[in-house]
Amino acid sequence: MNSETKSGSGQAEPIAIVCGAGTIGPAVARSIARSRQVLVLALRGWADPEEMKQFHHVWIGVGQLGHLFRQARAEGCREVVFIGAVLRPRLSSIRFDWETLKLLPRIVRMFRGGDNGLLSGLAKIVEENGFKLVAPQDVAPEILIPAGALGDRQPSERDREDIALALRLLRAIGEFDVGQGAVVAYSNVLAIEAADGTDEMLSHVAALRNAGRISTARGIGVLVKAPKPGQDRRVDMPSIGPRTIENVARAGLAGIAVVAGETIIAEPARVAAAANEAGVFVVGVPAGSVS
């Protein structure tokens, strides 16, 4: 028995991973599983059943917090990680268990707040139930994008100006708990992420381009993502994956810039390969250059 187990630091205990939609959840779970035993709590309707098969997992409904906590306790988990997207579900479509029903007035209030309010409310509920909410990047630091270019392409001087402008814009709207992303081309702001999310914002840009409504040529412009000031880093980090690359290419942009060390990247090798093939750059901008 080593000293870590003795001290009860939890390193030898299994960790519960609540997994939503997208490829990021499974990628992060694989990362964590390299050093820890994991119990994946797969969110029904969101997590990918095929991907879940590789993990020891249990299916949980979105409104089943009681079930979720019981399962985690039964398997000796004291730490919980949330990862993967759960787009705000229709409140009326959720089947609640008893424990969740008791929290409903609070959850309704959380729903009325922005994403920051919703996620930090959820984090608080998890902790009140005796768990420690852990940031995925704290148990698997390799999922954070480093500074510099990820694939072969580098942003041009022009791209760097667009990146700087987008970062300034995101900082200016930070206090409004609005999206984490913006598209800027040749100093024109083409889109700002709000309730739509990154993927949909990029399809809007692609649609505008196809309609001839964007005057800058294909291959000019950047997607920039940055954390919001009030964001709970344990449950709501900006993230990119292979699908982001596809959507950026379809929107006719030159590349993607994110804040190094503050953005989760699922499957970096696949992202780099996809970026090289699509001819777009992916760059981690040092956090110091942002604020």
User: Which residue ranges make up the site for a copy of itself (CB under 8 A)?
Assistant: 87-91, 93, 111-114, 165, 168-169, 172-173, 175-178, 183, 186-192, 194-196, 200, 204-205, 208, 212-216
State the nearest-atom distance from the C-beta of 277 to a copy of itself, in Å: 27
CB closer to a copy of itself, 10 vs 117: 117
CB closer to a copy of itself, 208 vs 287: 208
State the nearest-atom distance from the C-beta of 97 to a copy of itself, in Å: 20
CB closer to a copy of itself, 101 vs 189: 189
State the nearest-atom distance from the C-beta of 124 to a copy of itself, in Å: 18
Here the tokens at position 275 are 């970026």
CB closer to a copy of itself, 57 vs 225: 225
Q: Are 133 and 234 in contact (CB under 8 A)?
A: yes
C-alpha to C-alpha distance for 255 and 282, rounded to whole angstroms = 6
C-alpha to C-alpha distance for 90 and 92, rounded to whole angstroms = 5
C-alpha to C-alpha distance for 146 and 258, rounded to whole angstroms = 10
State the nearest-atom distance from the C-beta of 31 to a copy of itself, in Å: 29
State the nearest-atom distance from the C-beta of 99 to a copy of itself, in Å: 21
State the nearest-atom distance from the C-beta of 230 to a copy of itself, in Å: 13
Local structure of 10: helix, strand or coil = coil
CB closer to a copy of itself, 183 vs 260: 183
- Expressed in percent and rounded to 5, the helix, strand and coil fractions of the chain are 40, 20, 40
C-alpha to C-alpha distance for 139 and 115, rounded to whole angstroms = 24
State the nearest-atom distance from the C-beta of 69 to a copy of itself, in Å: 24
CB closer to a copy of itself, 59 vs 186: 186
Strand order through the sheet with 38-43: 57-60, 38-43, 15-19, 79-83, 132-133
Q: Are 210 and 96 in contact (CB under 8 A)?
A: no
CB closer to a copy of itself, 74 vs 91: 91
CB closer to a copy of itself, 137 vs 180: 180
Contacts of 184 (CB under 8 A, 6+ apart): 162, 163, 165, 166, 169, 190, 221, 222, 224
| Of the candidates 185, 207, 212, the residue with the CA atom closest to the CA atom of residue 196 | 207
State the nearest-atom distance from the C-beta of 175 to a copy of itself, in Å: 8
Which burial class, exposed, middle or buried, applies to 8 when counting CB atoms under 10 A from its CB (0-12, 13-18, 19+)? Answer: exposed
Q: Give CA angle at 231 (236, 111), nearest 5°.
A: 75
